[in-house]
Amino acid sequence: MTDQASQLVRHDVFKEAAWIAAPVAGHRDWDEYAIELNVFLEAGTLEILFGVRSETRYSGCSLDAASGGVTLFVNEDGTRQALAEAVAPELDNLPSSIRIRLERSAEDIAVVIGGRTVLSAREPERESGTIGFKAGSGGAAVCRDLRVFAPDGRILYVNRFYDPAAIQFGGGRIDGSGSGLRLDENVLAICEAPVAPDSPLLRKDFELPSAVEQAELRVYALGWYELSVNGAKPDARLLTPANSPYDRRLLYDVYEVTDLLNTGTNAIGLWLGNGYNMNYSRWGWKWKRGKAVALELKATLADGSTAIIVATDESWLTKPSPLLANDIYDGETFDARLAQPGWDLPGFPAEGWGHAVRAEPPEGELAPNQQPSVIAHATLQPIRVLRPREGTSVYDFGQNIAGWARAAVRGPAGARIVLRYSELIDGDGAIDPWTNRNAKATDVYILGGEAERETYEPRFTYHGFRYVEATGDAELLELLAVPVHANVDEAGEFSSSDETLARIQRNLRWSILNNLYSIPTDCCQRDERTPCLMDSAVVEEAAIHNFGMQAYYRKWLGDISHDAGNPDWSGDKVTLPWYLYQYYGDRETLEAYYPSMSAYVEALGAKWPAGIVEEGFGDWCVPNDDGWENYFNEVEIVNSALYWRFARIVSQAAAVCGRAEEAMRFSALADRIGEAFQSRFHDGAGIYGSGSQTAQLMPLAFGLVPASCVGKAVQGLLAAIEAKGRRLDTGIYGTRYLMDVLADYGHIDLALSLLTQPEYPGFGYQIAQGATTLWEQWSEKGGMHSHDHAMFGGIGASFYTRLGGIEPLSPGYESIRIRPIVPSRLQWVRTRLKTARGEIVSDWTKEGDALRLEVVIPVGATAVVVLPNFNGNAATVSEERIVGPGCHAFDVALTAAAAE
């Protein structure tokens, strides 16, 4: 969209609203403050600068790698005056990372290293100014995790130095490690354009001369916001607005607020937080500028007239909130002593509040957000409380979740409770924050002291955790865990007689939900939580079978429609519209995204004219010995097989959309890719590529194996499994199709054994270690790991389609196939699936020497019920029955082996 078109859309959505922001003190006006950072000093000297007025006028602290000396100094136009010197033993072990704090108070400057005050001095003729760094002659250093604090602890600035596009310093570069500002010899880096991590309140009183018939409020903010009308939240929405590729699309929220308005004086309150700001991962969609908000309230009055009653402009009042810090990764610090009860109610005096200022409109096209909201769900009680050391309590909630803790506390003003979150604990019961990586995952509540019981829960952060450590000098009365995720409906229910299989189902459901925010994230605990297309692609069918995902995935398709990576990464822009069509009958979405689907496949054809895709992640995260290079697997086979599949899907989609010529063209392309695939990977005797489990699974799963070679290809798969000691050796793509292929070719018992056995690697192994969600790696710990990744959850689709046997034969389940594949070790399976036509049920139970299959077909649908024929331990197709709506029961004789 052109800038002009974007402006037209913006004007149409917010006709009278201006973009406004809270005024922020300029960085060159910083006076009293503290600087904290991690320094990795490799050689020479590094100067940490403060009170910077120009490149030649500043104060500073010099660290000398050779001598271990620390010097406080003032530099005035080239003249340097030392104020104090000391030798710091903390510098003896360089190069290593040290935590440094410079405190610039009204009286003096102090240098604190590793918690110890090394030296202090009085600063003559001090002036306000910004901060910076300078590497001396022969100097080499990396600065990480920079924070600037006001005297009251309020955060003035944070920079993790993750993103080359958000350095905000006039020199230096992002370190090759992906984190930190690298300063080479004689480089001067001054903070020139900091983005404030503030959390302002904004309010507006307005009058309604008469009652309203209907009122709608629209709002969009850069950063997360919380909205209130006359002191009440309009609904349960949290962590709004939705994350999206902001340069293209801005998804505003619409609220029905009729019942919250009064005749006479009313008030609207807005509370802004950081959300996906500049310190969000470089791999995610984020803002790299200050916060701003636009709002309009449109009402139909009793006389039938419609008008915009209130809109954002400079008349709105603003003041800093009680949040001293808020960060998606690090958590919140809330000082209840600064709270102003009633700030969002009409008639609030607002003494000391200032006026909002105009802000530049953001880029991107404004559109309403129609995705299910992120909300809080039923709280969890702790199942035990551990006391690893005096003054520390660790609450175990028994389940890994995404969200936060809700604390009830008691104590005097200024007392505090500190909550730290983790997925793991150590042998002593202390939290182990290893999977958080650089996310501090800490919430701090400072009590106001005016109530017998104060309650706190965060609003502008979230955490992935099972355990919460509580410390501090306040009395903790109660601690609950609050799961937070997208409000998607329950759609499917799968259960079985095998407890391990039931635990796998529970674990994958929790992992899917814990990573359903306004984007499907890769993980929910560490400093990432990004829109990972590959992770989403492999789990989307499982998500659709468990939850109502149509509206959620429509939004996601709008986010990713411009992505053009390799098939393993960007493929769901092709497969997801097809899934929505197959499972929901959503032809509208298929037609809307067909141009994107076809353009992507054509782009792949232009890049890989020989039909073989040679780049990508492949079958990501097979069992491995750790190390980045070991996470990749079967890159060419996986990506080339996916490329073939995409061409086939686009051909089918073109036919559905009435594009017959394009259907033929993409079908021919698929044929050429298939020929190239056979030529490149097939040995002619059923073995593909290396003959690994993944190499055999992918062509079998997609139908790429010639009919004459299918039996040999299956035998090759079985041999690959035997070669690994009957253990799986698959990553996220191979695992997704493992049960499908083994079930379809008569080896369902083997599939079930691979998934549930308690030894490494496998889901059974994770469960044996206490897992309540799915891990990122098959191993428990490694160089890249989380304990709440959904990407291995793709196997969950097979529970419905193979063990339950429910599959659509036509879009939207107008016609259905019920074909359960029955393992010998399972005694029963219960499968229910809500569809657009109603609920489908497929339940089977072994009763003595018979299997009883009960099915329910919704009104308006027909089904082909395929009854199994048991021959030893294997079930093959015996008989098909055509049934209509209603309840149906079938009895099938079992052999002695199958009845076990």
- Residue 179, token pair as written in the block: 């984190």
List, for residues 512-527, the tens digit of each pLDDT value: 999 999 999 999 999 9
Is 784's pLDDT higher than 90?
no
Residue with more model confidence, 296 or 301: 296
pLDDT of residue 868: 84
List, for residues 536-594, the tens digit of each pLDDT value: 999 999 999 999 999 999 999 999 999 999 999 999 999 999 999 999 999 999 999 99
- Residue 66, token pair as written in the block: 């050779």
pLDDT band (50, 70, 90) for residue 4: very low
pLDDT of residue 899: 52
Peptide bond into 95 cis (omega under 30): yes
Q: Which residues face 365 on adjacent strands?
A: 249
Is 8's pLDDT higher than 70?
no
What is the distance between the alpha carbons of residues 404 and 327, in angstroms, rounded to a whole number? 13
Is 614's pLDDT higher than 80?
yes
Percent of the chain with pLDDT over 90: 91
Provide the mean pLDDT of the chain.
95
Is 11's pLDDT higher than 50?
no
pLDDT of residue 625: 85
What is the distance between the alpha carbons of residues 521 and 397, in angstroms, rounded to a whole number? 22
Q: Which residue has the tokens 């049960």?
A: 739
Q: At what angle do helices 748-756 and 499-514 cross, to 10 degrees?
A: 70
List, for residues 848-889, the tens digit of each pLDDT value: 999 999 999 999 999 999 998 775 444 455 689 999 999 999
List, for residues 404-423, the tens digit of each pLDDT value: 999 999 999 999 999 999 99
pLDDT of residue 874: 47
Rounded (5°) CA angle 476-479-483: 155
pLDDT of residue 762: 96
What is the distance between the alpha carbons of residues 551 and 544, in angstroms, rounded to a whole number? 11
What is the distance between the alpha carbons of residues 627 and 782, in angstroms, rounded to a whole number? 8
pTM (global) more than 0.85 = yes
**Backbone dihedral angles phi then psi of residue 622, each to the nearest 5 degrees:** -65, 165
Contacts of 175 (CB under 8 A, 6+ apart): 142, 161, 181, 182
List, for residues 692-704, the tens digit of each pLDDT value: 999 999 999 999 9
pLDDT of residue 210: 87
pLDDT band (50, 70, 90) for residue 178: confident
Q: Which residues face 483 on adjacent strands?
A: 403
Mean pLDDT of 765-785: 92
pLDDT band (50, 70, 90) for residue 7: very low
Mean pLDDT of 435-453: 96
Percent of the chain with pLDDT over 70: 97
Helix, coil or strand: residue 683: coil
Contact between 171 and 232 under an 8 Å Cβ cutoff? The reply is no
- Per-residue CA distances from 840 to 294, 586, 587, 623, 855 (Å): 45, 19, 21, 37, 7
DSSP string over 363-406: SSEEEE--SPPEEE---B--SEEEEEETTEEEEEEEEEEEEEEE
**For the chain, how far is it from start to end, CA to CA, in angstroms?**
63
List, for residues 127-157, the tens digit of each pLDDT value: 899 999 999 989 899 999 999 999 999 999 9
Contact between 293 and 225 under an 8 Å Cβ cutoff? The reply is yes
Contact between 578 and 646 under an 8 Å Cβ cutoff? The reply is no
pLDDT band (50, 70, 90) for residue 895: confident
List, for residues 378-398, the tens digit of each pLDDT value: 999 999 999 999 999 999 999
> For residue 829, how many other CB atoms are within 10 A of its CB?
26
Rg from Cα positions in the chain: 30
pLDDT of residue 872: 43
- Residue 511, token pair as written in the block: 């992992």
pLDDT band (50, 70, 90) for residue 733: very high
pLDDT of residue 577: 98
pLDDT of residue 611: 98
Is 5's pLDDT higher than 60?
no
List, for residues 95-129, the tens digit of each pLDDT value: 878 999 999 998 899 999 989 999 999 998 888 99
pLDDT of residue 878: 64
List, for residues 65-74, the tens digit of each pLDDT value: 999 999 999 9
- Residue 419, token pair as written in the block: 């909550």
Mean pLDDT of 764-791: 93
> For residue 425, how many other CB atoms are within 10 A of its CB?
18
pLDDT band (50, 70, 90) for residue 25: confident
Mean pLDDT of 665-680: 98
